[in-house]
Amino acid sequence: MKNNKKTIYSALTVVTALLAQLPASAQESADSAMVNVAFKKAYQSDVLGGVSTVNVRELTEKNYNTYSLDNMQGYVSGYNGNGMWGYSNALVLIDGVPREASNVRPDEIEDISFLKGAQATVLYGSKAANGVVLITTKRGKVNDGLSVKVNANTGWNVAKAFPEYLGSAEYMSLYNEAFLNDGGDVNNLPYSAETIYNYASGKNPYRYPSVDFYSSDYIKKAFNRSEVSAEIEGGNQKARFYANVSYYRNGDNLNFGEAKKNYTDRFNVRGNVDFALSSTINAYVNANATFYGAKSANTNNSSYWEQARTFRPNRVAPLIPVEMIDPNAKSALTMIGATSNIIDGKYFLGGSSADLTNVFGDIYASGTNVYHSRQFQFDAGLNFDLSSVLKGLSFHTMVAIDYATAYTTSFNNSYATFQPTWANYNGKDVIVGLNNNGTVDKKSGAQNISGSTDNQTIAFNAHFDYNRTFNDVHNVSAMLVANGYQQSKSGEYHKVSNANLGLQFSYNYDHKYYADFALATPWSAKLPSAKRLGVSPSVTLGWRLSKEKFMENSFFDDLTLSASYTDMKTDLGIDDYYMYLGTYQSGGWWDWNGGSGHSAMQSKRGSNDELSYLHRKEISATVHAEVLNKALSFDASYFLSKWTNGILEARNQVPSYLFSYYPESSFVPYINFNEDKRSGFDFAVNYKKQFGDFGFGVGANVTYYTTEATKRDDSQYADTYQYRQGQPLDAIWGYECLGFFQDENDIKNSPTQIIGGTIRPGDLKYKDQNGDNVIDSKDQVYLGKGGWYGTPTTIGMNLTLKYKGFTLFMLGTGNFGAHAVKNSTYFWVGGDAKYTAEMRGRWTKETAATATFPRLTTEAGTNNYQTSDFWMYSTDRIDLQKVQLSYDFPKAMFMKSFVRGLQLFVNGNSLLTIAKERKLMEMDVNNSGSAPLNRFYSIGAKVSF
């Protein structure tokens, strides 16, 4: 009996110790209301603002997705898909280690915490100043036996839209027009009427090609993505484990040559193990291996999609039938007989003296390459219950080592292209001669290796935690933490380092009154030795009004207010090492007394031993409320964040004689000067209720922020309207357009435009802002917000409907308040650039009143192709991002089988966009050189054993 009692006592002690350990291990708490925050778990009700959490394990049961942060703005207020609270490039931590968000799949994740406020991130040190995304992977649970879940999914990517480029005949006609616009001779046009007719007739597309990169000859209607994964977990009080083995393979848009076989794939194995070493010590080990590959055809002439935007349709026919060679053209037949690249047994590769090779020939004949990436991640930790030393005391430590390598293997072939000489016999076009322009077929058979990189991350943290409750109402917790990581990357001399000590002390009285104090001491090698140690304090106060007597029997189940102030030091924004040092280098020549030149040693930069940290100084306030028996919750935050001590090269803060243009020499140092401000709010509401067999859940959130450059050196600007100070950080600067010049008199009577090129009717006319009768850079003004840190206003909406085994999930997002500029090669088409459908709205004398595009020109078009409000457009949009219908078969069906559950689902991703510029956005023409955007439709199954 004594032994049984001892066993029971030991088991209970182990369980208690496991549950008490704070989360360096990302431990799954028995209390579902606990969430991951900096270095620990905390009750969600005790987290004082600036933090939002998504339960990904629960989410993936109704929403299949392929990326860990996919559309998180649909669930999380304060996050806009690009950053949090007006900041971008947040620090991503996976199980406490800096890693890429793309290296963990959604079905491996337990939850994600978005640490938005500075007070929530301060313990992570300097590199966390832009916010932290804390991803915690799944861990094994104590359950009855082994649990296995297999997930399988297959789906099809379908292009949303393709850019619209003009065919050869229309291009030639418009190019002739551009030639005449530039004063060309109508009797000496670049393309004759006969030539244009031949291209327009389509009678011989090999002699008169009109290549459409987006036609079904080259592009698939849809391509497949398939994925399968297996999750295995189990264990007991002594040891628990979770394992995930997954594989996916993704196809490609291209449908010809070697590109038809293009693919990317990924094989991944993750294992997380927790075990009790004794009644007071437990440990964990996490390991992950990822093998990523991507096979593609070699494209020596830049990527296919880049060529699609620049390669004119009339330049060359990619494939020409061998049968079109005149049987009497013996030399041509001999030449073709010697080539090893006869496509499909009937086509040879076309070329010209200007295009010895082309992207089509590359894809057919230049070989293939395979990108290899290998990532190995390992972290382990120990948790000690030190209650025998001091009640409530524990110690936690973790070390992680990650390796990532990548390289490309390829077989690089050269190939011959042939320029045909055409003739017409009896109304039939035939090839009477070929010229390979010196190109040859060559296959070396040697495998080449290139692009080899290797990266390493080493991370460590250790912290003492103290948690006690006195007299049932005084809750005290404290943490002393040492944290650091270092990342080395190929080709970069200096490692990315983050090191800091942290102290946190928290007190709450009966979970009613809260006070939290945190202090971090970052250290940075980017600063002078005397300035490398920083101090980042943070104070947070909270009040749960709902526990006050005057709130008894009120409408609120919970109502909590909190406010924070943080002064966080960071070296983010110090772009390089040794910026505080003066530098010298040899260069330039000096004449001495009229004699020969002598090499000079020049100063390139002055020193500044006072260069110091940038600051994120932030005040925030939050409100959390729950009503209707906690079925309805509200969360709102306001933040005012000042980014001070920004780095500036002090050209205008020091005497002018410290800098010379020739020979170029400078004693000007970098100094702390610039200041920015970000302010805004976020708001979220969630409602969840079960009505018999019917379940209903809805969530909505909105985030709004503004930015302002509150301190800038604007002395280089003569006019106040060009001052950057007082304007948004993502300000778009350019010209205010007054329309088109209508005729020569209009040009003569307008200010002189000296931006570039000859001004003619149909060119853009700009406003003279300073009245000097000249249009130049001094006339540029603020035009609008670019949304570089995310759009100023972001909304997210999600809806869950359940009825018995059916679940319908929908997710939508919205983005408002930003603008973009049509400045890609799709719109700016000077010289002999490829023409698009936009050119159909060009200015001519006949269309002067309705034109939507400047006149065409064979010159550079510099005057017209400037950032101006003529080219601006709103990026406002609402997107239906997800719809998924799932069905979970009744568990009673599987009572007598080894199957425990089965779910089938259909899913649609990126389904609908509502926007004024929807077509432009879906064509993605401002992102030159990229593959088309796709919608994704999939079906899948989840089976539990």
pTM value surpassing 0.85 = yes
What does the alpha-carbon distance between residue 698 and residue 690 come to, in Å, rounded to a whole number? 12
For 548-666, strand residue ranges (E) read 556-570, 583-591, 597-605, 614-627, 632-649, 659-661, 664-666
pLDDT tier, 588 (very low <50, low <70, confident <90, very high otherwise): low
Q: What proportion of the chain, given as a percentage, has pLDDT over 70?
A: 95
Say which residue the tokens 């906690």 belong to. 630
Residue 592 above 80 pLDDT?
no
369-410 pLDDT per residue, tens: 999 999 999 999 999 999 999 999 999 999 999 999 999 999
Structure tokens, 635: 């969360």
Whether 26 shows a pLDDT value over 60: the answer reads no
499 vs 888: CA distance, rounded Å: 48
Q: Distance (Å, rounded) from C-alpha 158 to C-alpha 153? A: 16
Task: Decide: 55 and 73 in contact? Cβ < 8 Å.
Answer: no
How many CB atoms sit inside 10 A of residue 709's CB? 20
Mean pLDDT for the chain? Answer: 92
For residues 316 and 209, is the Cβ–Cβ distance under 8 A?
yes
pLDDT, tens digit, 9 for 90 and up, residues 824-860: 999 999 999 999 999 999 999 999 999 999 999 999 9
* Token duo for residue 29: 């708490």
Q: What's the pLDDT at 876?
A: 97
Per-residue pLDDT reduced to its tens digit, 759-793 = 999 999 999 999 999 999 999 999 999 999 899 99
With tokens 């193990």, the residue in question is 273
Are 147 and 944 contacting, i.e. CB atoms less than 8 angstroms apart?
Answer: yes
Q: 916 or 6, which is more confident?
A: 916
Please answer whether residues 122 and 128 qualify as being in contact, where contact means their C-beta atoms are separated by less than 8 angstroms: yes
Considering only the C-alpha atoms of the chain, give the largest distance between any 2 of them, rounded to a whole number of Å. 113
Q: Give the CA angle between residues 817, 822, 828 to the nearest 5°.
A: 170
Q: What is the 3-state secondary structure (H, E, C) of 474-496?
A: EEEEEEEEEEEEEEECCCCCCCE
Beta strand ranges found along 804-933 (DSSP E): 806-816, 819-821, 872-874, 877-888, 901-914
Which amino acid type is present at position 25? S
Among 306, 239, 214, CA closest to 826 = 306
pLDDT at 143 over 80: no
The pLDDT of residue 699 is above 50? yes
Report in angstroms the alpha-carbon separations of 614 from 430, 532, 611, 639: 72, 12, 9, 19
Burial annotation 144-172 (CB, 10 A radius, 16+ → b, else e): eeebbbebebebbbebbbbbebbbbbbbb
- Residue 609: DSSP 8-state: T
> What pLDDT score does 22 carry?
35
Q: Which residue has the higher pLDDT, 324 or 143?
A: 324
**pLDDT at residue 27 in the model:** 33
> What's the whole-number mean pLDDT along residues 203-208?
95
C-alpha to C-alpha distance for 310 and 358, rounded to whole angstroms: 12
What whole-number distance in Å separates Cα of residue 938 and Cα of residue 933? 16
pLDDT in tens, 217-234: 999 999 999 999 999 999
